[in-house]
Amino acid sequence: MLRRLILILIIIIPARVIAQEVNVNELAAMVNMDHIGIDTLMKKKGYRLMQKDVDSVSEEYYYSHLERNEQSPTWVRALSYVDVNLKDIKSRVLTYRTYNRDEYQKMMSALLGKGYKTKNVFEFKDSKHTVFDNGKQPVRVKVNNNKMENGRWIKSYEFELGR
């Protein structure tokens, strides 16, 4: 009985930890999903809708997830997107942010594995922007240096896609 319980925990715990991350395939799919599909996916991953602003031409949604770990750092992740509908023009900008360097590296490997190549690199203020393209969907990756109130610097990693 104890062995079964340990086996179940070994299977469930890693799946639960990974479940909060949003992967490259999911981000690419969300660019074309409707709001209900995105909302369902984010709630399944444990994210909470923190803010929703809707007006006559745009809708903005902000999801956040706080992963508390007793034996490792606490991680914050966020997904936000804005839909703009102006007469015949419809567009979406979607941004996924993490502070976890390992997650960032995993997402970069996935991008490169899907045939993305560097198109442009530039710096703006305290961030480095790299635009990747695979011929179908460009992705802007921003590595930001954020100064905390205590003077400490912390990096955040953003993946931005749009249509």
Residue-wise pLDDT tens digits, 33-49: 999 999 999 999 999 99
Residue-wise pLDDT tens digits, 45-63: 999 999 999 999 999 999 9
Query: What pLDDT is recorded for position 75?
Result: 80
Mean pLDDT calculated for residue range 2-17: 41
Residue-wise pLDDT tens digits, 99-141: 999 999 999 999 999 999 999 999 998 899 999 999 999 999 9
Which residues of 23-162 form beta strands (DSSP E)? 48-54, 58-67, 75-86, 89-98, 117-124, 127-133, 139-147, 153-162
Domain boundaries, the chain: 22-162
> In the predicted model, is pLDDT for residue 155 greater than 50?
yes
Query: What pLDDT is recorded for position 117?
Result: 96
Instruction: Compute the distance between CA of residue 48 and CA of residue 33 in angstroms, rounded to an integer.
Output: 18
Query: What pLDDT is recorded for position 147?
Result: 87
Q: What's the whole-model pTM score?
A: 0.81
Contact status, residue 81 vs residue 93, Cβ threshold 8 Å: yes
